[in-house]
Amino acid sequence: MLDIWRPRDRIPSNQDELEQHARQSLHDLTVQLEKTRTAVQEAWIPRGFHILEELRRIWPNPDDLPIAMYSKRGYFLATPDQLELIENLKAHWILKNDENEYFEYVQDRVERIVGIYRHNHLVKKKLRRMRIVSLSGVFISFALMTIVLGSHVFGSGSLPEAVLSCIFSVLLTYALDRLLLR
């Protein structure tokens, strides 16, 4: 955890006065935020938080549906419970602004958020492919091994024995797959 605001390296002679002024200003800001939060809550409802909860009920995995809360001052007016909700439901924040230069900021944030989830999705796809290839290899090797062993155990190596050995191979491959996934 990184604390953003720290005293300067070279402490001025009036540091105590500066800190007192900063604390008073922060206190005034907190009081004003509470007044503003009350006024906003009287005028509007925080529907975005409700929608976020509903979306996460349908798509609980943020890899399947990345969500970003988009607001100009909503981050500052959200209650601690609402901020915790966003954190727990794996949503992101994008702060909007009226100035055109911030369009690039928003576009960059959206691209980064989507990029994170796209990368995770590609990794999952690759892992699935690798698993299919590896299970296929295991299945083929077990099938060959059980056919060879089956012909020695069952005798003549006829078709029913080969089918039985393949079934045994499938069951063995499935059991090993379940065992390796734990």
Condensed to tens digits (0 to 9), the pLDDT of residues 60-104 reads 988 778 888 888 888 888 888 999 999 999 988 877 765 545 556
pLDDT exceeds cutoff 90 at 127 = no
**Domain-located, residue 75:** yes
Rounded Cα–Cα distance for residues 97 and 73 (Å): 9
Average pLDDT over residues 1-24: 84
Boundary-marking domain end, from 96, 113, 134: 96
Domain count, the chain: 2
**Domain-located, residue 89:** yes
| Pair 131, 87 in one domain | no
Residue with tokens 């892992």: 127
| Residue 114 token pair | 């989507």
Instruction: Tell me which amino acid residue 13 is.
Output: S
Mean pLDDT (the chain, rounded): 76
| Residue 85 token pair | 């909700």
pLDDT band at 35 (very low <50, low <70, confident <90, very high): very high
pLDDT exceeds cutoff 80 at 181 = no
pLDDT band at 46 (very low <50, low <70, confident <90, very high): confident
| Pair 92, 27 in one domain | yes
| Pair 81, 27 in one domain | yes
Name which of 118, 94, 117 is nearest 107 in CA terms. 94
CA atoms within 13 A on the CB side of 61: 6
- The whole model's pTM is what? 0.50
Question: Measured at the alpha carbon of residue 67, what is the angle toward residues 62 and 72, in degrees to the nearest 5?
Answer: 150
pLDDT band at 119 (very low <50, low <70, confident <90, very high): low
Q: For position 139, what pLDDT does the model report?
A: 63
| Pair 130, 169 in one domain | yes
| Pair 88, 32 in one domain | yes
Q: Note down the domain range covering 171.
A: 125-180
Cβ neighbors of 117 (< 8 A, separation 6 or more) are 62, 63, 66
Q: What is the DSSP letter of 68?
A: E
| Pair 88, 38 in one domain | yes
Q: What are phi and psi of 163, to 5 degrees?
A: -65, -45
Residue with tokens 């007016």: 77
Q: For position 42, what pLDDT does the model report?
A: 92
